[in-house]
Each structure stands twice: as C-alpha cells, then as structure tokens.
Structure 1
Amino acid sequence: MSGEVRVLSCYEAGRDGFWLHRYLVHLGVRNLVVDSSSVEVNRRARRAKTDRMDLGKLVSMLMRYENGERKLWSVVRVPTVEQEDSRQLHRELSALRGERTRHINRIKGLLASYGVRMRVDRGFLDRLETKRLWDGRPVPLGLKRRLVREYERLEMVKRQIEQVEAERGDLVRTSGSPDVEKVRQLLDLRGIGINSAWLYVMEFFGWRAFRNRREVGALAGLTPTPHQSGDEAWERGISKAGNRYIRSMAIQIAWAWLRWQPQSKLSRWYEQRFGNGSPRLRRIGIVALARKLLVDLWRYLQHGVIPEGAELKA
C-alpha cells in the first residue's frame, strides 16, 4: 500500500489485552479498542450470529465512528506498558488471597464431611495426627494425605502473600515514582490503609485522566441507572459498568470512613440522611457515600483539597 493510505481497525477489549493494539499502532494502523458491552446488538429473542456477521457489524460501526458518530460506542483508553504492569502486584495479591480462602474452605469442607471441625492454623498438622472421628477411629489415611497436601499448598500461598506484601511495602517506603507518591498522599488520611491506597492509585487514579466528577463515578460503576418511559420514571440501581476492583473497595472504604472520620462532612451527611433508616436504606446510602468519597479523593490527589472535616494521621 501507499504510505498515504490510512488503515483503520478495531477490536473488542477482552482476553487479548492491549498487545495487539500496540502492534497495530507500531505498523502504522489507526486502531481502536472498544468496550464490547457498548457494541450494538439485535434485540430479537432469537437472532443469527456468526463471526462473519460480527465482523461486518464492527466494520459498519467503525465507519460510522470515523464519520463523526463519537457516541456510537465506548473507546477504551489504552495504558502504557509501564502503567499496565503497575497493576500486576495488587491483582496478584487479590488472586492469592482468593486462593488462600479456597484452600481453607476446602480443608474445612473435607473435614466436615466426616463430622470433624478443626481450626486451620499452624498447629493443624499436629492436631490432625491425634484427631478422632465420632466413633473413635482415626482420620482415614487417604483423607489425611489429601489434607496434608492441601495444607502444604495453603502454606505456600501464605508465603507468597507475605512476599508480595513485603515487595509492596518496600515500594511505598523507597520508590520515588509519581504513583507511589499518590499512595503516600492517600495514606495520610485516617481510614485509608495500604490496600485501598495502592488499589485506588494503581487501578484508578494513577494513569486515568478524569475531566470531571461524573467520569470518576461512571468508571467505578457507581452512577445511577435511570429508566424512563412515558410518565413513569425510576432508578434501576447503580450501573456496575466500571472497574469492579474499585467498586468493591469503594464500598469497603465508605464503611471505614464512617468509623474513622465521623466528624467529616460526608459522614455527617450520611448520618443525617440514612443513620436512622432501615438496614436496606443504610446499604443504599453507603453506595451514595462511596461515590461522593471517591470524587473527594480524586480532588484531594489532583488539587490537594482535603475532604471537608477529614482528619490526617498523626
């Protein structure tokens, strides 16, 4: 092709990540990575679907997008290799903690099927040797061997968790990168710990460019979903369309904020609006608080504006 020919392409964000985008850009192709959930689909209950039809749909939408329909779909902002790599540590830690929980639950489940209940701690293997079933018999040999191997896998996961947490701690103490500086800035606030500060920065605030508070709430999936038809209008709950790591952490931090920052403006607002409500109403309110707090933390990192009434750690 001539060097003046402009080549366009697109693909849906997913398992292939962003390496393909970088490769296409390296070749001189103008590529878009699009959110698959924003691609138009036929709403018939039974519709034809083939790879050829899907490809034709993407080509058609790409042409419309290039002709000016900018709201046609959602284009994903592609991070740099370094920015993408910075997300590995906390995601690995989250996966390891999930594995730890699964190993513990598996051990307890195996024991429960024989009517045995034991704590899964450092003395587990010693107690297993002397444990007896309901009729006084020892734990069957096959089960015991399986439990020993399961416990060894659990201990390996625990060691890896300690290694990852130590690596993160060293970075917080010694690194001079702008992202780690933001982590330290968040850690100055009471109620914000290392897990939430690291996740907020590396997954959310570190490399994404937010233009306003609406974008902050939308990317976290904490914005309301309106539904209006004729004279009827109601809210269908939060969109849950954004980053699931941030959304989960935002709810946890909102509860912690009420405990550690009771005199802040946001905590007083929550108590006035939802403090005397039912448990369901308080859960609804905590989502609203999480969204407001996320916006305040964004302003704190961007402009140094401490959330009103919030206290810093001594």
Structure 2
Amino acid sequence: MTQHNIIGIDLAKSVFYLFEINQNGKNVGRHKITRNKLLQCIANKPCATIAMEACSSAHYWAREFSKLGHSVILYPPQHVKKQRRKQKNDYNDAEAIAEVALIGRAFPVQAKSIAQQDVQSLIRMRRLLVSERTRMINQIRGLIAEYGIVIAVGKTAFCKAIPHILEDADNQLSSIMRELIHCQFERYHALNEQIDWFDRKLEQTAKSFDNAQRLMTIPGYGTITSQAVAVWLGSGEQFHNGRDASAAMGLVPKQDTTGGKVQLLGITKTGNTYIRSLLIHGARAALRRAKFKSDKFSKWMLEVAERRGPNRAAVAIANKLMRIAWAIITKKETYQPA
C-alpha cells in the first residue's frame, strides 16, 4: 500500500459521497458532490488511492480516475457491508469503503476494460434471453396442464409436443387457448434465433480473446465459460494463488472450527453465482468424458466420483478447474495434461 491518502466513494446516479482518510485511518475530509463535478474534484486532488464498490458504473469511473493518475481499487459490496460499523447512510458507506482499502484484507475486483465489458454484456444479455425462454416454456406447460395436457420437461420435448397439441382437434383446448399457444410458440422460435445470434457473436469474440483461448484448452471450458471466467479473473494478480481465486468464487468448504477441532461444511457460495454454475456444469461435462481419457486429471475425476458420488465430484472438479484457470492466466500458458 502506498502512502497516499485513501478516498472512499459511495457511487450513485447523480450524487456521490466521498470520505478521505490518511494511512493512519484518521478522517481527512468528506464531501458531497454531484455527478458533473466529480471528475473535476478528483482531478484537483493529489495522487490518492480511490476505493469504490464494484457496482453499477464502477468500472467506468475506475477507468476515468486511472487516467488522472490515481490508483483505483474496487471491492465486492459484501466486504464493505461487513466493515461498516455504524448506521447505514452514504457517508458511513464511503467511510467503510475507505477502511476496507486501508486494511487490505478483502480480494479486490479488477477494473474491466471496454473489450471485457463488451464480452460481459454479451453473456448477460444472452443469459436474460435463455431465462426468458425457460420461463415461457414453464408457463405454457403449467397452463395447458389445466386442460389435461402434460408435456415432458425440457425445450426439446416442448418443441416436439406443441405442433401436435395445436393440430389435435380432440383435446380440450379452446380456440382462444390455441391462439395464445400459437402466438407464444412463434415467440419461442424468435427467442431461439436471438440466442443463436448471441452464440455466434460469442464465438467471434472468443477468437480474439487470448485468455479465453487459453482457458478453452482446459477440460470442461466452452466458449461461454472460458470468456466469463477470463473476464472475471482479469489478469489474476489480485489473488495470491489459485485457492484464493476459488475461494472468491465460493467453491471452497465453509469451516466451523473451535478448540482446534476442524469441521468442514458445504461450499461457501460467495462470488458470482452464474459463473460458479457454469464451472459446475463444465465439471459435469468433463466428468462424463473422463472415462474415455487416460491422463492424470481424468483418472482423479473418476476416483473422486467413485468415492464421493457425481454431485460432490462435480463441485470438487469445478474447484480444481478454477485453480487451473488462475494458473494458466497468470502464467500465460495453455493447459498441458499430465
């Protein structure tokens, strides 16, 4: 940590609260500033360490403040919440952010570049469309169940069943319900086309994303998972080792230790829920293919699955995949199976 003052900024849409402390934790000053005056205020300050929560617009401000010569650190909001000791208000939030930077125990979030945010936006928009498609399928399945028609789970079964249901004149569907289902089925096809467009776009971005190309050499890493993890990790320098990266993703066990007696529980589930789910799904895919391989990692996966079962094995493999990803990104290498 440099000997600069630390400025904690509580971000908002139009009004920002700044809390400045020195290296001894003493309050130097606090300010309330509107959005159009924030950059000018920061530009007039000597070089400082600026700390913010990794929330909406944080990466934009981080890039702008870095251009002015300041050192910028972003922290996950849950760490700031734990640090706040007083009542919740904007100044106390800004003070807690500055104190987290002073202590320096929490793992920071690396500020994203424009290219990284483009990839992240593609992944998030695609996720929204997939979620919308799933909700629509489930809604139609639930509605037509009231007419005595049952459809199996899954989009494949849904896509096969709906045309037959619409053509069957002997079922109990009314003309209004047939019209509604036909309308939603057309929307289902439109959503599929949009999702396919996002998939093609993500394949294009992966070709020019070096870290994603490296991660795709690891078992269980596809186009989406590799880019999501690469954007989340950045350079990986914010973590001391692969275990720290896996802990930040919530893939390590909780501990309930007292009197020297260690008790391990389920995983902590901190960090990004969506990326963690991608890693676990990738682990399941890698486990299915492991029986056709003879490398050391594949044999280990099969041993864990036999000893602990496929579900626990998937989590353990996801933990290992996260650690491997950190090593590959920090060393700028490709995966070499032992």
What TM-score, normalized to structure 2? 0.69
Q: Which amino acid aligns with 1:249?
A: L
Encode CA deviations 1:144-182: one digit per residue, 9 max, x unaligned: 23222222221211110121222233445xx4x3x2x44
In 2, are the aligned partners of 1:9 and 1:31 still within 8 Å (CA)?
Answer: yes
What is the rounded CA distance, in whole Å, between the counterparts of 1:157 and 1:296 in structure 2? Answer: 35
In 2, are the aligned partners of 1:13 and 1:33 still within 8 Å (CA)?
Answer: yes
Question: Shift of residue 115 of structure 1?
Answer: 0.9
Match of 2:296? 265
Match of 2:189? 155
1:292 is the counterpart of 2:311: no
Q: Secondary structure at the match of 1:86?
A: helix
Encode CA deviations 1:246-301: one digit per residue, 9 max, x unaligned: 31122122222223234222232243345144x4xx43333222212332344345
1:213-224 matches, cutoff 5 A: 213-224=242-253
1:101 is the counterpart of 2:106: no
The two structures, once aligned, show a CA RMSD in angstroms of: 3.5
In 2, are the aligned partners of 1:299 and 1:305 still within 8 Å (CA)?
Answer: no
Match of 2:91? 55
Unaligned runs of 5+ in 2: 1-40, 152-156
1:84 is the counterpart of 2:117: yes
Q: 1:234 to 1:168 in 2, by over 3 A?
A: same
Q: Which amino acid aligns with 2:262?
A: A
Which of 278, 284, 294 matches 1:255?
Answer: 284
1:169-248 matches, cutoff 5 A: 169-172=203-206, 175=207, 177=208, 179=209, 181-188=210-217, 192-201=221-230, 203-205=231-233, 207-209=235-237, 210-248=239-277
Q: 1:305 to 1:18 in 2, by over 3 A?
A: closer
Match of 1:128? 166
What is the rounded CA distance, in whole Å, between the counterparts of 1:75 and 1:31 in structure 2? Answer: 10
In 1, are the aligned partners of 2:217 and 2:335 still within 8 Å (CA)?
Answer: no
Greater shift in the superposed pair: 214-223 or 190-199 = 190-199
Q: Which amino acid aligns with 2:299?
A: R
In 1, are the aligned partners of 2:53 and 2:74 still within 8 Å (CA)?
Answer: yes
Question: Shift of residue 141 of structure 1?
Answer: 3.0
Q: 1:188 to 1:266 in 2, by over 3 A?
A: closer
Q: Which amino acid aligns with 1:284?
A: R
User: Sequence identity, in percent?
Assistant: 24
Question: Shift of residue 114 of structure 1?
Answer: 1.2
What is the rounded CA distance, in whole Å, between the counterparts of 2:71 and 2:332 in structure 1? Answer: 34
Q: Secondary structure at the match of 1:121?
A: helix
